[in-house]
């Protein structure tokens, strides 16, 4: 009675199209009747739909889209009738088409609410359930113990498995955000309470438990559960049956999370004993991992690969041919340690390279949307100075969270985005950014509703956001006010309390002090994991923003974080320890598929081979061939004049973003970015093939090289020395001379340099 007549608007459009095609008016009376009925029904549908939404059984993004699509349909249908009565046929037909679009959208999301997100796909032939494999008809739980009473650990394990099944199959209709049939299955008390039709679980009697009956019914039965999506597998049904047979046990005290929650406190694992040349702490811990996983150590890379790798990783530049020659000729046994320390002592080169890493993470850029509106400002001078002076990381974090005038852009420079919705208000963005960058956790889901991927609740996000707010925030669930005012507290109460009545400035100071405490092991593990990922291509934990995931070596991560704190939170010392380890010097590895690097069963065997970043590639072209950016491209007043004068070219890390850098993977920094893909893509290929910036750089450089090197032999030799740090092989020299001709031409030089820039030896860090 409420929704069906609205569909008559679709029939009205069909009849209108028939009349329109035949240039007649025979169906006008019927069309007018359908329009009036449809428009009136749309008004009624919106009114009753609003009442239904308030009953509490529905929630989430689908509800909001359905709600506003329905309102839009109502408005459009009324406008359509009005245009028709005024004889504005062209406008009327346009509005009718928009109205039917609104009906379709509202209907689709309405069906998703009542029948599930896959209400269409679940009934298609390709979605049929696969037959069960042999041997899954009986439970194969590790805690089955031949009728004996379950131990507390077995109860925990069983409970986690049960809750996982319920979360994946039942929470969409029976949890806090949506309570169908007055039944909730997300806590022990709610499960035992049952729903509107009585209890659903009778401990020790699965045969009398409505839950088991419903999930065991065939798919077509009207009482079968779940009503949407795929049915529970036989193994899952057996798990729930076994759980009820055992009395539906539940752990005493706080319920164990179905999600892994990493320990907050620091830990210092005992170091394994040294063995042969495995003497450094990182190598001893990796050796233990290798032994456990039956992985053999490979010989370390040669000096030529190492010097290029460590140069690009520490200062972001190619080593000069002279530096390579000197390093190869050096016979000192500790020359790699000496080289790493020399590079780390190049404070300006180091800062200019690592600026890009921190710009990505801290959303610091030199231009963009916020600069147009005046609502965003950068922290470039503060950041450069902090890196150049190697500011201890605990002080670095404190000055970002409890900012000085120069560093407040991280916290306050988010206002440019405005309030898109409640989950993106500036205080919530600050909470999201701080938690992601420094603690490696995702609050974005929990800023709109209770998270589906972690245990973080909406109330947790708002309480944390209140630390950054001038006034207490009202909690909004899926952008709908709840009438509840959030508290004010840190995400990890174990670290301490925030003064509710203190000023915003004082609360930020308290937050900074609490987060950098030595007992906040998570802060320092997150940083260590990020640096490891930057240097070795893959974090000990992946993704690096999900620090509750399982590390491939928990002992290695914990020891490095503890050692980092012991050494005064010195990032350069951390980098030195990594790049001088035998582990870092192992041959690089690759993955068959991009997704393999994130696989749960990932096995570490060495650095993951990776592509030069946009800034590294640009600076490499500038060093080896021709500067891609003039000195004037450096951000005005960014660097002291004495440092500017020392630069042979403008470092790409200080250049305002442009299509060339974007195509090579530099993010726009309008959101936090803590990981750049190393995969080549079509946009990059097009830019390097046809892009104006790269083409002009080659043209300008070709003229200079032609004037400087009149013969092909000398030109090719110098190009190879600068680009690859070696002399060309005979075949390479012969091929290059064919490209250049007997006397180098500008076009030939362009082609040769373009070809050299695209080979893996230049583009990759081996």
Separation in Å, CA 563 to CA 273, 394, 525, 571? 17, 14, 10, 11
State the distance between the two ends of the chain, measured CA to CA, in whole angstroms: 68
The whole-number average pLDDT for the span 712-717 is: 95
Return the higher-pLDDT residue of 108 and 750.
750
Give the whole-angstrom CA distance, residue 216 versus residue 214.
Answer: 5
Angle between helices 89-115 and 8-21 (to 10 degrees): 140
- Which of 170-184, 234-248, 514-528, 631-645 shows the highest mean pLDDT? 514-528
Burial 719-736 (b: 16+ CB within 10 A, else e): bbbbbbbeebeeeebeeb
Q: What's the pLDDT at 649?
A: 82
Q: Is residue 653 within 8 Å of 356, Cβ to Cβ?
A: yes
Taking only the tens place, the pLDDT of each residue in 488-509 is: 999 999 999 999 899 999 999 9
| Domain map (residue ranges) of the chain | 4-115, 132-258, 419-515, 614-663+680-765
Indicate whether 581 pLDDT > 50. yes
- Could you identify the residue written with the tokens 């620090």? 547
Q: Is residue 435 within 8 Å of 456, Cβ to Cβ?
A: no
Indicate whether 143 pLDDT > 60. no
pTM to 2 decimals? 0.74
Q: Chain-centre distance of CA 191, in angstroms?
A: 34
Taking only the tens place, the pLDDT of each residue in 229-239 is: 678 888 899 99
Give the whole-angstrom CA distance, residue 616 versus residue 651.
Answer: 9
Contacts (Cβ under 8 Å, ≥6 apart) of 289 = 295, 552, 553, 555, 556, 604
Helices (H) then strands (E): counts for the chain: 32, 6
The whole-number average pLDDT for the span 547-569 is: 97
Which band of pLDDT confidence, cut at 50, 70 and 90, is reported for residue 136? Answer: very low
Q: Is residue 365 within 8 Å of 668, Cβ to Cβ?
A: yes
Return the higher-pLDDT residue of 648 and 653.
653
* 3-state SS track over 94-110: HHHHHHHHHHHHHHHHH
């Amino acid at each position: 009675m409420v929704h069906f007549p609205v569909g008559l608007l679709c029939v009205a459009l069909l009849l209108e199209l028939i009349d329109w095609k035949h240039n007649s008016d025979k169906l006008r009376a019927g069309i007018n009747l359908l329009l009036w009925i449809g428009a009136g029904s749309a008004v009624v549908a919106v009114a009753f739909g609003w009442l239904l939404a308030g009953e509490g059984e529905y929630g989430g993004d689908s509800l909001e889209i359905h709600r506003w699509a329905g309102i839009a349909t109502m408005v459009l249908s009324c406008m359509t009738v009005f245009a028709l009565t005024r004889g504005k046929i062209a406008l009327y037909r346009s509005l009718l088409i928009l109205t039917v679009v609104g009906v379709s959208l509202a209907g689709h999301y309405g069906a998703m609410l009542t029948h599930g997100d896959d209400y269409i796909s679940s009934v298609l032939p390709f979605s049929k359930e696969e037959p069960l494999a042999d041997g899954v008809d009986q439970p194969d739980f590790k805690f089955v113990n031949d009728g004996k009473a379950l131990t507390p650990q077995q109860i925990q394990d069983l409970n986690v498995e049960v809750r996982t099944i319920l979360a994946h199959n039942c929470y969409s209709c029976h949890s806090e955000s949506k309570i169908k049939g007055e039944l909730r299955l997300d806590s022990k008390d709610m499960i035992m309470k049952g729903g509107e039709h009585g209890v659903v679980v009778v401990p020790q009697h699965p045969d009398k438990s409505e839950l088991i009956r419903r999930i065991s019914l065939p798919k077509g039965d009207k009482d079968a559960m779940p009503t949407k999506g795929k049915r529970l597998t036989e193994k899952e049904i057996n798990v729930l049956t076994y759980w009820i047979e055992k009395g539906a046990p539940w752990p005493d005290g706080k319920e164990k999370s179905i999600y892994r929650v990493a320990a907050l406190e620091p830990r210092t694992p005992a170091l394994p004993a040294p063995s042969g040349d495995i003497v450094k702490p990182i190598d001893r811990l990796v050796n233990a991992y290798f032994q456990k996983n039956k992985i053999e150590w490979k010989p370390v890379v040669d000096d030529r690969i190492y010097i290029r790798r460590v140069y690009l990783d520490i200062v972001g530049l190619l080593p000069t041919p002279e530096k390579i020659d000197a390093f190869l000729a050096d016979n000192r046994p500790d020359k790699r340690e000496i080289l790493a320390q020399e590079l780390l002592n190049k404070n300006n080169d180091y800062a200019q390279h690592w600026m890009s890493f921190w710009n990505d993470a801290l959303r610091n850029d030199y231009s963009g949307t916020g600069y147009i509106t005046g609502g965003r400002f950068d922290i470039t001078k503060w950041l450069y100075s902090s890196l150049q002076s190697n500011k201890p990381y605990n002080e670095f974090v404190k000055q970002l969270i409890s900012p000085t005038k120069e560093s407040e852009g991280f916290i306050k420079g988010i206002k440019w985005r405005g309030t898109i919705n409640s989950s993106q208000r500036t205080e919530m963005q600050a909470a999201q950014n701080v938690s992601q960058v420094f603690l490696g956790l995702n609050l974005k889901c929990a800023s709109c509703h209770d998270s589906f991927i972690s245990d973080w609740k909406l109330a947790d996000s708002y309480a944390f956001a209140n630390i950054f707010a001038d006034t207490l925030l009202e909690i909004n669930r899926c952008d709908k006010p709840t009438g509840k005012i959030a508290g004010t507290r840190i995400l990890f109460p174990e670290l301490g309390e925030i003064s509710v009545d203190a000023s915003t400035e004082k609360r930020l100071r308290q937050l900074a002090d609490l987060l950098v405490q030595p007992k906040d092991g998570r802060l320092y593990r997150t940083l260590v994991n990020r640096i490891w990922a930057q240097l070795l291509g893959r974090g000990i934990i992946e993704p690096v923003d999900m620090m509750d995931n399982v590390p491939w070596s928990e002992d290695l991560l914990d020891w490095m974080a503890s050692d980092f704190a012991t050494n005064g939170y010195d990032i350069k010392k951390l980098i030195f320890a990594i790049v001088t380890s035998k582990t870092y010097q192992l041959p690089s590895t690759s993955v068959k598929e991009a997704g393999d690097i994130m696989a749960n069963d990932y096995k570490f065997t060495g650095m993951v081979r990776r592509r030069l970043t946009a800034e590294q590639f640009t600076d490499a072209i500038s060093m080896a061939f021709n500067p891609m950016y003039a000195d004037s491209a450096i951000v005005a007043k960014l660097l002291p004049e004495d440092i500017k004068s020392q630069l042979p070219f403008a470092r790409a890390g200080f250049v305002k973003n442009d299509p060339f850098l974007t195509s090579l993977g530099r993010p726009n920094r309008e959101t936090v970015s803590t990981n750049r893909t190393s995969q080549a893509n079509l946009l990059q290929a097009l830019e390097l093939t046809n892009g104006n910036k790269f083409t002009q750089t080659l043209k300008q450089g070709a003229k200079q090289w032609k004037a400087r090197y009149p013969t092909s032999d000398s030109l090719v030799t110098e190009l190879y020395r600068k680009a690859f740090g070696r002399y060309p092989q005979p075949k390479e020299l012969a091929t290059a001379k064919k490209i250049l001709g007997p006397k180098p031409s500008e076009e030939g030089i362009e082609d040769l340099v373009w070809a050299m820039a695209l080979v893996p030896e230049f583009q990759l860090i081996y």
